Amino acid sequence: MDKIGKRFERKVAIVTASTQGIGFGIAERLGLEGASVVISSRRQKNVDAAVEKLKARGIEAFGLVCHVSNTQQRKNLIEQTLQKYGKIDVIVSNAAANPSVDTILETKELVLDKLWEINVKASILLLQEAGPHLKKGSSVVLISSITAYQPPAALAMYGVTKTALLGLTKALAAEMAPNTRVNCVAPGFVPTHFAAFLTTDESMKRGLEEKTLLNRLGTTEDMAAAAAYLASDDASYITGETLVVAGGMPSRLHHVQNSLATILCRKGTGKLLHGTQSIRAPIHQNSLQIRTLKAACRFGSVDAAEVADLLPPREIINLNSRLFKSVEFYTSIHELLN
Ligand SMILES: NC(=O)c1ccc[n+]([C@@H]2O[C@H](COP(=O)([O-])OP(=O)(O)OC[C@H]3O[C@@H](n4cnc5c(N)ncnc54)[C@H](OP(=O)(O)O)[C@@H]3O)[C@@H](O)[C@H]2O)c1
């Protein structure tokens, strides 16, 4: 952190749900870059402890209790910030809940309401409150998730609320332009309290690491750096965008290579393919991949139909720097699977 800049000097930043984890990391980063930061969460003792930690690092910090779905506390957050600092330059809306691991069709109505309320509605209501005070050059960052792109079974409805934030980012960017930019960060998996059920079990953690190209989980500092960039004037020509910070985890629904690689990894063949890297080359040009796929099919670890279904026919796909026709890809996959 020694070499960070000072992009937020004389700026005032509100970060919600910021007494630990990613929110705290973002507040700390903005503060170290010169911002006066307003942090909050549901519990006074957590707020006090976090303010102390920030102050110990020389950061100008102010904290209050704000449960994001409490109308009065949201109002108070904005009013107190204005009273203390006179303006708001940056708002990072970071709070989320994931109260259940049920499938979507089994999720109780009460839980559906809570997910919508905390993960989506609270951000909207907070911005309704703050909107009139945001001046030219201000910036909003929403915190979504990698699960927004392909909600996994155990995080299905949570993932869908995070998908909603991608749309909310686009819609609000249009509504709040040109004075306020609205962007979004989609973190990959970060070992915080929130993700502890996934990241404390060693084999689950390893599985998540293997889904990345960089072979590691994210850190709160990784997320903070991305949020700080989007909130800063360095990103002054960027609005309505989501920055995926997930170590190369698949983040587009129709990214053929990554989808294939995910399946292969899930089926336990990832190691043969050296992680997700080698699948990115055109398959018909790489005999190791062909042999691996054939072996995987022979041993029943890849279902031919499952692979074939993922391939969008008759489209040209841009594969990083290489271009090749998916029709050819489709045909060669069929050849080698049949
Ligand atoms: N960790 C990951 O792997 C991951 C991945 C993708 C996206 N994300 C997203 O990143 C964000 C932060 O997650 P995290 O992993 O940093 O969580 P975390 O470490 O568990 O921290 C959550 C923070 O939010 C506060 N909080 C919880 N509910 C709140 C509410 N209703 N109103 C206000 N504050 C609340 C907590 O403090 P109190 O208990 O005092 O309220 C705490 O400060 C979430 O939007 C999450 O969806 C996380």
Ligand 1 mean position, distance from CA 143 (Å): 10
CATH number of residue 33's parent domain? 3.40.50.720
Tell me, what's the pLDDT at 15?
99
Distance CA 322, CA 98 (A): 39
Distances in Å between the Cα of 222 and the Cα atoms of 29, 95, 194, 197, 241 are 10, 18, 16, 21, 18
Tell me, what's the pLDDT at 250?
86
Number of domains comprising the chain:
2
One domain for residues 223 and 261: no
One domain for residues 41 and 182: yes
Ligand 1 mean position, distance from CA 16 (Å): 9
Lowest mean pLDDT among 112-116, 144-148, 234-238, 253-257: 253-257
Q: Reply yes or no on whether the pLDDT at 225 is more than 70.
A: yes
Among candidate residues 245, 277, 298, the one where a domain is terminated: 245
One domain for residues 235 and 306: no
Q: Ligand 1 — pocket residues by CB below 6 A? A: 16-23, 41-43, 46, 66-69, 94-96, 118, 143, 145, 187, 189-190, 192-195
- Of residues 149, 158, 229, 237, which has the active-site annotation? 158
Atom of ligand 1 nearest to the CA of 50: 43
User: Is 158 designated active site?
Assistant: yes
One domain for residues 187 and 284: no
Atom of ligand 1 nearest to the CA of 190: 3
Mean pLDDT of 71-87: 98
Tell me, what's the pLDDT at 42?
98
**Residue 2 counted as domain residue:** no
- For ligand 1, atom 23, which residue shows the shortest CA distance? 17
Residue 331's pLDDT band (cuts 50, 70, 90): very low
- For ligand 1, atom 32, which residue shows the shortest CA distance? 67
Q: Reply yes or no on whether the pLDDT at 278 is more than 90.
A: no
Among candidate residues 245, 275, 294, the one where a domain is terminated: 245
- Probe ligand 1: pick from 22, 24, 168, max atoms within 8 Å of CB? 22
Average pLDDT of the chain to the nearest whole number = 82
One domain for residues 49 and 150: yes
Residue from 92, 122, 129, 118 nearest 15 by CA? 92
Alpha helical stretches, state H, the chain: 21-32, 44-56, 71-85, 109-116, 122-130, 156-176, 196-199, 202-211, 220-231, 256-266, 287-298, 304-309, 326-337
Residue 2's pLDDT band (cuts 50, 70, 90): low
Distance CA 103, CA 45 (A): 34
Ligand 1 mean position, distance from CA 25 (Å): 11
One domain for residues 115 and 228: yes
One domain for residues 43 and 95: yes
Atom of ligand 1 nearest to the CA of 187: 6
Encode pLDDT of 291-307 as tens digits.
555 454 444 444 444 44
Q: Are 320 and 281 in contact (CB under 8 A)?
A: no
Residue 315's pLDDT band (cuts 50, 70, 90): very low
One domain for residues 237 and 128: yes
- For residue 115, with 0-12 CB atoms within 10 Å meaning exposed, 13-18 middle and 19 or more buried, which class applies? buried
**Residue 7 counted as domain residue:** no
Distance CA 301, CA 307 (A): 11
Tell me, what's the pLDDT at 230?
98
One domain for residues 155 and 187: yes
One domain for residues 105 and 241: yes
Atom of ligand 1 nearest to the CA of 199: 3
Tell me, what's the pLDDT at 271?
35
**Residue 277 counted as domain residue:** yes
**Residue 5 counted as domain residue:** no
Residue 1's pLDDT band (cuts 50, 70, 90): low
The C-alpha torsion from 139 through 170 and 160 to 16, rounded to 10°, is 10
Tokens of 1: 């952190």
Distance CA 164, CA 167 (A): 5
**Residue 3 counted as domain residue:** no
Q: Are 97 and 118 in contact (CB under 8 A)?
A: yes
Which residues lie below 8 Å from residue 259, measured CB to CB, with a gap of 6+?
Answer: 250, 310
Instruction: State which residues form the domain around 302.
Output: 256-337
Lowest mean pLDDT among 172-181, 204-213, 304-313: 304-313
Q: What is the pTM (predicted TM-score) of this model?
A: 0.80
Ligand 1 mean position, distance from CA 193 (Å): 8
**Residue 87 counted as domain residue:** yes
Ligand 1 mean position, distance from CA 23 (Å): 7
Distance CA 261, CA 211 (A): 9
One domain for residues 113 and 35: yes
